[in-house]
Homo-oligomer: A and B are copies of this chain.
Amino acid sequence: MTHEIAVIPGDGIGQEVTPAAIEVLEALDIDFEFVEADAGDAVKEATGEALPEETYELAASADATLFGAAGETAADVILPLRDAVGSFVNIRPAKAYPGIDAVRPETDLVFLRENTEGVYSGHEDRLTDDVSTLTRVVTESASRELAEFACDYVDTDDHDGFTIVHKANVMRETDGLFRDTVAEVADEHGVETDEVLMDAFATHVCLDPEQFDVVVCPNLAGDVLSDLAAGLVGGLGLLPSANVGTERALFEPVHGTAPDIAGEGVANPAAAIISAAMMVEYLGYEEEAAAINDAVEATLEEGPRTADLGGDASTDDVTDAIVDRL
């Protein structure tokens, strides 16, 4: 069976780390067909559009998409692409990797972020010169779909349950609906949950990250709190993410375009490669995914290393070392 993979390198180091991920995927005994497409600042400059229609269509029809990074146009690219793959959940693991200097090395979290609504629903108005509004949408159906996924996730991946993060003491109706729905679904599945307010989570995850494990939260809370966790594990550099829908999914490193080093061939490809491993697992190849992760971890620990980790290896050197260890 051939898997059609949309490949959207985007801008900056996206152009370097995405080919590195492809190189690793090509070393596996899996039948991929890679189809490349444009998105981001460069294509906007050339054509006026950050996300060409054919790129959207490709992501909407491929079995999975690998995305690199986008610059100024990030929101114009990634939000429609999440929609193209029908993603309802953004999976963001945040754990410290060997070789990384971390504020809280014991952090090992997975955020399951609602990926369609909240303040991201896109309804804003300028009512008067003085007054602007945004309509934050929370639906029972999206909360339920996320919760079903979360229950399945903790079962399959062997976690003890999950923490619901919300701000229902202020957003009583909307986050109240989110919290109640997620808790109810978990209850139906016999999955244990606890809950914590978004602001309290921010304090407590710094003081004692080990008290949390899987965290289920609305869209903006997931955005901010997973980036907070990224700070605790030493930065965005090594973190992968998955935007999962019912029929397809998009995988992207959490880091950006790194304009300071783009074009020099020295970017760390690890996050893009770990994101590709998430894709391999999503497509059903668990052993191959584990093999990639092991090869990346061994390389992080034993080298070669790129400059961000204190080494002087190139993107190619690191990629070759990972392929050799497969």
Contact = CB atoms under 8 A, between A and B. Distances in A.
Interface in A12-71: none
A130 B141 CA distance: 6
Interface string A221-257: 0011101101110111000000000000000000000
Interface size class for chain A? 35 or more
How many copies, total? Answer: 2
Contact of A231 (B135, B141, B177, B207): B207
A202 B174 contact: no
Contacts of A136: 119, 133-136
A134 B173 contact: yes
Interface string A163-185: 00001011111101100000000
A204 B234 CA distance: 10
Nearest to A117: B131
B132 A137 contact: yes
A103 to B, nearest CB: 5
A177 B135 contact: no
A203 interface: yes
A271 to B, nearest CB: 14
